[in-house]
Structure 1
Amino acid sequence: MASRGREGGRKRGGAAKPKEGNLVGAAVKKASAPPVKRNNDLPEVTIRVQRKSTHHRTDFDRKMAALKRLSDQGKLFKQANPVARDTSITGGFKDRIIRKIHNKYVRNNKGSDAQKAKDREAAERMKQRVRDQNPDHVWELQLGGPDEVSNLKLMDADTNQDIGTQIRVEIMNLPDGTPIRIEVVD
């Protein structure tokens, strides 16, 4: 099948893209705010994220260390809300990891029958662990982070959602572009 240009709405091997003006496309465009840049004319604001006993400690520490590092580099700022995002980036993230696990431990396994059975069981445990986690934007989108696969890590779902909510509540009344500093509260 020949590839058609943008006018035809298809790329080689891809499904048809919705035409411009599609109601869904229009709703998505209206739903997200235009991105903003860090405004160094605004005063820097320190936001506090509280560590809770319900948080997965390793995930929380990793996330906060990354945000603190970005904060120290002067990269964090309040992004306009709602943040524009491509849900296919996070949506396919877990699926790709699960496929890699399957290919490594099940599909390409050339061991004995006993070893294959062991590897299948281990693969199922790993896949379930992936299913129970959320793709997390390490550099929060709401703090100016990129919506890219390279910015994603798997994280405990409850910890991820709570950190995001804490940050959102702290920055919601700040002007867009406000420089942000992160502080962890125990």
Structure 2
Amino acid sequence: MRSSAPKGSKARGGAQKPTKAGTLVTKAVEAAAKPPKPRKPPAPPVTRNNNLPEVTIKVQRKAGYKQGPFDRKMRALQRLSDDGKLFKQANPVARNDAITKAYKQRVREAIWKKYWPHDKETSRKLTDKLDTLDPDHVWELQLGGADDASNLRLLDADTNRDIGNQIWQQIRTLPDGTPIRIEVVD
């Protein structure tokens, strides 16, 4: 006797045909179960090579940037370049994600210590805002900065990543150790 069940449905011990959504979920679960791709080992660090010509990197100020934090970051990089400290570091740079995680956690704990429980609304607003911020290496790692908590400040995540990408796109083909000067363009 033939089944009256619609085509593709479970019939007489057969497995149900997976739906499109079910297939997507299955793929997402499989992807999550895979171990993350290992990072390339860091390159040996280099120092500034003053025998190479200095290269000026132009960082464009974009409309979405918050002016104060962007200006603070750029002033710091310009001071470092005026002092002759910026250079293209070998890539990939040595980076310890635990340092930035711990920095952000200390900020979160400071917010809660100051505002909780007497001002729950402020503590929630500040911790929600914290989720949109990155611990930013003020002296960029790719420009010879240290991966240290003393080199970290909070910066809007999108701004931080965009500035880093703007710099990387201009220095990636330069020889390691190339002296760098920073210029802001509007």
Band the TM-score falls in, shorter-chain normalisation? 0.7 to 0.9
Aligned ranges 1:75-114 → 2 under 5 Å: 75-106=85-116
In the aligned structure 2, how far is the partner of 1:54 from the partner of 1:102?
Answer: 29
Q: Which amino acid aligns with 1:177?
A: G
Could you tell me whether the CA contact under 8 Å between 1:59 and 1:159 is conserved in 2? no
Aligned to 2:83: 73
Task: Give the CA RMSD over aligned residues.
Answer: 1.4
Q: Which amino acid aligns with 1:55?
A: Y
Deviations 1:61-94 (A, max 9, x none): 1110000000000000000011111110011211
Shift of 1:31: 2.1
In the aligned structure 2, how far is the partner of 1:58 from the partner of 1:89?
Answer: 25
Deviations 1:158-177 (A, max 9, x none): 11010000000010010000
Question: Does structure 1 residue 180 correspond to structure 2 residue 183?
Answer: no
Q: Which amino acid aligns with 2:68?
A: T
Aligned to 2:64: 54
Aligned to 1:15: none
Shift of 1:58: 1.3
Normalising by structure 1, what TM-score?
Answer: 0.77
Structure 2 gap segments, 5+ residues each: 1-34
Shift of 1:95: 1.1
Aligned to 2:29: none
Deviations 1:13-35 (A, max 9, x none): xxxxxxxxxxx9xx55x521111
Shift of 1:130: 1.2
Moved over 6 A (4+): none
In the aligned structure 2, how far is the partner of 1:168 from the partner of 1:161?
Answer: 10
Structure 1 gap segments, 5+ residues each: 1-23, 108-115
Which has the higher Rg, Structure 1 or Structure 2? Answer: 2
Q: Which amino acid aligns with 2:45?
A: P
Aligned ranges 1:11-160 → 2 under 5 Å: 30-106=40-116, 116=118, 119-160=119-160
The total of aligned residue pairs comes to 150
Shift of 1:43: 0.7
Q: Which amino acid aligns with 1:87?
A: D
Identity level (%): 60
> Aligned to 1:47, what secondary structure does the other structure show?
strand
Normalising by structure 2, what TM-score?
Answer: 0.77
**Per residue, is there more helix in 1 or in 2?**
1
Could you tell me whether the CA contact under 8 Å between 1:94 and 1:131 is conserved in 2? no
